[in-house]
């Protein structure tokens, strides 16, 4: 597993939410996100990933302070390191 983006902005399309955190790719091709923040509004002008569906979300409500959640997704689109403007 290696980090592909620190400070990634992620559109969680299946929930209509936005996530902020660190993104990793597993050796199986899964996107693993350590979620630091959740919002119903975009946090920046760009997005780095769009998650269409996810497999599991550990500690889904732990997204602040010293507790972060972990989301694992197979259904995602990688918009590149610099990201793309969100709609």
Domains in the chain: boundaries: 2-85
The predicted model scores a pTM of 0.88
Per-residue pLDDT of the chain (87 residues; tens, 9 = 90+): 778 899 999 999 988 999 999 999 999 999 999 998 889 999 899 999 999 999 998 887 766 666 788 999 999 999 998 889 977
15-35 burial, b if ≥16 CB within 10 A, otherwise e? eeebbbbbbbbeeeebbbbbb
Cβ pair 71, 32 in contact under 8 A:
yes
Q: How far is it, in rounded angstroms, from Cα 7 to Cα 35?
A: 10
Q: Is 63 left (phi over 0), alpha (psi -120 to 50) or beta?
A: alpha
CA angle 21, 26, 30 (to 5 degrees): 75
């Amino acid at each position: 597993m290696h980090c592909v983006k620190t400070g990634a902005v992620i559109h969680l399309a299946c929930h209509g939410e936005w996530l902020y955190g660190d993104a990793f790719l597993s050796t199986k091709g899964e996107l693993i996100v350590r979620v630091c923040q959740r919002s119903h509004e975009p946090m920046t002008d760009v997005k780095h990933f769009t998650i269409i569906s996810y497999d599991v979300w550990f500690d889904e409500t732990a997204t602040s302070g010293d507790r972060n959640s972990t989301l694992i997704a197979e259904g995602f689109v990688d918009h590149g390191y610099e990201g793309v403007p969100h709609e």
